[in-house]
Structure 1
Amino acid sequence: MSAAAAGRVGRFYTAARRHPWVLGKVADWKIPLGPYTPAQIAVAVGGGFLLVKTISWWSLLGPIPIAAWLLAIWAVRRPKIQGRAPMQAALGLVLLGWQPQGGRIGGRAARDRAPHPLLGGFTIEDTPSPALAATPSRPAQRHTSPAPHPSPAAARTSTRRRTEPAAPAVPVGPVSGVQQLLALTSQGGGVR
């Protein structure tokens, strides 16, 4: 037997061993027909208050509302809602309604992260054909324009700069600096 298994203790209490909280005595005075559960006390107080406030409505019915009130007090002596006492069931429902919709992670409300745009860019470069590489190269004219100012949100989410689209005209020679150097070295020219 391992040390971890020896340290585990399981306890189970049956319903016969659980004693509910009841009120049977107030000081030295024993409550008649007691003891009473919290549900019975709540029905007695709430129902008595309701009967007193609405006496003008039910007084024509005679003792029927009072008998119904006493029957309700007796009926809630050991109620169970899905195996739980009514107060515990009501507290469970309140706590369930209080929980965040997504649940909790580490005691905090679980929320999805706010959406943000995913920005990126790419450049398409044509590879020079062998016929163009053999011809003397001219410096290619580059299309330059001021870069647009990125929004503050884009500046926070991405550190890359946006690239301008390539010029619509077809370039005659190598376009990038690397391609120009490769063209010079293939022609036998040195780097100046």
Structure 2
Amino acid sequence: MSAAGLRVGRYYTTARRHPWVLGKVADWKIPLGPYTPAQIAVAVGGGFLLIKTIGWWSWMGPVPVIGWVLAIWTVRRPKVAGRSPVQAAAGWVLFLCQPRGGRIAGRAARDHAPRPLLGGFTIEDTPAPGLAAQSTLFPAVRRPGAAQDHSPAPRRTPSPAPERKAGPASGVQQLLALAPQGGGR
């Protein structure tokens, strides 16, 4: 394939990453400018701190003021993980304000409160032919919290077990019937 037939795409992201700076105010150019937002913040905050604590550092002469100017100069192009300090600080603030479990559809994701998983079952009285006597051995199970009858249960007299003539009715009974009748494994 010839070079004329190839399409070449180029992108210039460095031109779009030019930092926001403050260099002019109306027709007046700021001396030694332009300044980044980090430099402006250090200049304003540091100047306020130096004025409020002048009684503490006045014996050192111009050393704190020179340190302040050097701090302004050092933050001119700092990068924290490839971002400006203001963006990095905003990212940390947003990270600390997020809920611990994250967000789902803009709302805080929370775990549901734990609760017991209750269940019940009922054994119905639909015996197979020849197994009518076995259905009375397992009464229906009641769920917890359901209304219960506290009247005394009628006494049953044990009756002799009838002979089984029909084969097993359920799948479990069929498997048990197929199993060897030995006592060991």
TM-score tier (shorter): 0.5 to 0.7
Q: Across the two proteins, how many residue pairs are aligned to each other?
A: 142
Aligned letter for 1:76?
A: V
Structure 1 residues 121 and 76, CA, compared in 2 at 3 Å: closer, same or farther?
A: same
Aligned to 2:52: 53
Aligned to 1:73: 72
**d(CA) in 2 for partners of 1:163, 1:112:** 35
State the identity %: 68
Aligned letter for 1:15?
A: T
The answer to whether structure 1 residue 112 and structure 2 residue 111 are counterparts is yes
- The alpha carbon displacement at 1:16 in A equals 4.2
Partner residue of 2:158 out of 172, 182, 186:
172
Where do residues 171-190 of structure 1 align in structure 2 (5 Å cutoff)?
172=158
Residues 39, 75 of structure 2: 8 Å contact kept: yes
Structure 1 residues 131 and 112, CA, compared in 2 at 3 Å: closer, same or farther?
A: closer
Aligned letter for 2:64?
A: P
Does the residue aligned with 1:66 lie in a helix, a strand or coil? helix
**d(CA) in 2 for partners of 1:110, 1:47:** 41
Aligned letter for 2:108?
A: A
Q: Which has the higher helix share?
A: 1
Residues 101, 110 of structure 2: 8 Å contact kept: yes
Where do residues 3-82 of structure 1 align in structure 2 (5 Å cutoff)?
13-82=12-81
Residues 23, 37 of structure 1: 8 Å contact kept: yes
**d(CA) in 2 for partners of 1:36, 1:148:** 75
- The alpha carbon displacement at 1:14 in A equals 2.4
Structure 1 residues 60 and 132, CA, compared in 2 at 3 Å: closer, same or farther?
A: closer
- The alpha carbon displacement at 1:131 in A equals 10
TM-score normalized with structure 1 length = 0.60
- The alpha carbon displacement at 1:172 in A equals 3.4
- The alpha carbon displacement at 1:25 in A equals 1.1
Aligned to 1:102: 101
TM-score normalized with structure 2 length = 0.62
Aligned letter for 1:31?
A: I
